[in-house]
Structures are given as C-alpha cells and as structure tokens.
Amino acid sequence: MEGLFPATSRAAYFSIDGANFSTLKHFAKSPAHVAEFLLHPPPSTPAMILGTHIHAAVLEPARFDRDYVLAPKVDRRTTVGKAAWATFEAENAGKELLDRDDFDLVLGIRDAVWAHPTAKALLSGAGHCEVGAVWKHERTGLACKGMMDRIGAHGGWTWIVDLKTCEDASPAGFARSVANYAYHAQAAFYLGGCNAIAPMKRRFAWIAVEKKPPYAVAVYEPDSIALDTGERRCEDWLDAYAECRRTDVWPGYPDDIQSIALPKWATREETFSE
C-alpha cells in the first residue's frame, strides 16, 4: 500500500506498519531507546494535545470551527453549574472542548499564521493537508511512513510544508530548534519518501510560529547543507534500524570506558570582574 494519501486520519496513520521519523529519531541516543519507544509508547502530553489542536486550527480551519468549541466557565460544584455543564455537553457531543486560555492561544496562532503572506500562500491554493505517505526504503527494504502537514503548489514548485510551534522563530532561534530536534533530518526523510513514491523535484518549508504573543511567524527553507546532513543521519538510522530488526539486538551505550570532553560552549574563556 505505497503512495500518498491526503486527509489521512491519525488513527489510520498509526495503524500502518512502517518506520516513521518519531521512531528513528531515538537512534540519536541508542537502539535501546528505540526499543523502549516501540514497546512502551509514551502517552500524549498536554503540549502534544495542544499541538494537535493548533494543527487543526491552522491547517483545517473549517474542521476546527466544526469540531472544536469554547467551554463555558461554570462552577460545576453547584447545582446550577452542573446543570449548565450538562446542557453544554449534550449540545456539543463529540466535539473537542477547549478552555479559554487554550482557545485564545490556538486562535491567536491560527490568525497570525494566516496573516503572514508567505505562510498563507503555502497553505492556500492547490494542495492537500494531513498527507500520509507509505514507501519502501530501497537500500534496506524497510517499510517507511510519514505524515506531512501539507503538500501544495507555490511559485511553480511543489512544497512539503511543516508547521512548527516554537519559543523563538527568529533565524538564530529556529536554527537551534532545527539542530536540537533534528528537523532537518525529518525534512530529508519526507523528501526522500515522496521521491521514492513519485520522483520529482520538491522543496521543503517550515512555518515557524511562536507560542506566545505576538505569535510571530517566519517561513524557512533548509539549505542544501542542512538537507544533506539530515539525509546522512536518516540513512544511518535506517541502517541501524534494519540491523536491529534483523538481529533483534537493541544495544544501549558502549560497555567500555569512554573519554569525554566538555562541549565547546563550556570551554570558552570567561572574563571575571573582581
């Protein structure tokens, strides 16, 4: 079942057997961490759940307006409050309920992204959101999968678009996020997967939006060095994954004594005043 599948639900995506980036990135620590992730997937955190709400609001605003609702602030310890809440729940059965703080945050981010001209152009026009992808990694034979926020057309190119919330969307700040969270490897993984399904030249863009007012937005494209570095990292991880699956051996850190050096930032000379 290889191909690109627009409007893939999260449930359908998770049911697909394949190596995804959320799994592969744990090789940055060790195969043992990958095995632990596979055996005991961590539960969704409040931040992850909020991120899902943000993606719905930005990428599928019509669905957000249909399926999400602001929960009223009532005192459910009182008889009147309990009755009001019961009525509200009955009238909004099946909808996602957001409290005032989360609702305002989600709408603030949505409005800021769509007010940014380049972000709006990438999210508008021909294209699809929540695109599932399933492909075979040619060299290792591994089944792989990915879920892309959007694939669309802009400026004569096909773009894979990834929405990222962050603390700092400035060039220096977001570059740190790219390095810290291996976003460049994720970009290379998605580009490689799409190319395995349907070879063509595509470009990749991050829409970075800050999680606090004024919800500043920037759009970035990884340069060739970032993508090459990310591709090499993904290939190493896929090799390791294939070997671990073949042998069913998932080692942790090395057993011997290793030399360790301070990180570069810790060796900078400091000037102290008396």
**Distance between start and end Cα atoms, the chain:** 69
The 8-class DSSP code of residue 27 comes to: G
Residue 274 has pLDDT above 50, yes or no: no
Which residues are 133's β-sheet partners?
A: 4, 146
Is 15's pLDDT higher than 60?
A: yes
Q: What's the rounded mean pLDDT across residues 229-258?
A: 97
Output the DSSP codes for 227-265.
HHHHHHHHHHHHHHHHHHHHHT----S-SS-------GG
Rounded average pLDDT over 106-135: 96
Q: Model's pTM, two decimal places?
A: 0.91
User: Burial of 32 by CB count in 10 Å (0-12 exposed, 13-18 middle, 19+ buried)?
Assistant: middle
The pLDDT of residue 270 is 54
Tokens of 104: 């305002």
Rounded (5°) CA angle 212-9-218: 30
Q: What value does the mean pLDDT take over residues 237-249? A: 98
Q: Are the beta carbons of 223 and 177 closer than 8 angstroms?
A: no
The burial class, CB within 10 Å (0-12 / 13-18 / 19+), for 122 is buried
Model confidence pLDDT, tens digit, residues 128-184: 999 999 999 999 999 999 999 999 999 999 999 999 999 999 999 999 999 999 999
Assess contact for 190 and 133: CB atoms under 8 A: yes
Burial of 103 (0-12, 13-18, 19+ CB in 10 A): middle
Res 203 pLDDT > 60: yes
Domains of the chain: 3-246 (3.90.320.10)
